[in-house]
Amino acid sequence: MTNTDLIEQSFAIAWSVLERTGELGEPNWSANFLLDEIIERFRCGERRRLVLSNYAIDAYRRQPIKLVS
């Protein structure tokens, strides 16, 4: 598995979980946020797909609620 595959699969897992639970916000912002979190943890040396996705999910859930104006 390439690094790109690992990141893509981690992203897909995180996106799927948040989508199923109805927690996804604006798609572009959400995608960028999740990808940034996964890449940050990847650069720190993490290579386990589920750990990467769970880290991104947890970080996403800690974000303040964004109200639509």
Could you tell me the pTM of the whole model?
0.90
In the DSSP assignment, the letter for residue 21 is T
- At residue 54, the 3 state secondary structure works out as helix
Distance between CA atoms of residues 46 and 13, nearest Å? 16
pLDDT score for 1: 86
Would you say 31 and 15 are in contact if contact means Cβ atoms under 8 Å apart?
yes
Q: What is the pLDDT of residue 66?
A: 64
Q: How far apart are CA 8 and CA 60, in angstroms?
A: 17
- Give me the amino acid identity at 1: M
User: Is the pLDDT score of 55 beyond 70?
Assistant: yes
Length of the chain: 69
Question: pLDDT tens across 4-44, in order?
Answer: 999 999 999 999 999 999 999 999 999 999 999 999 999 99
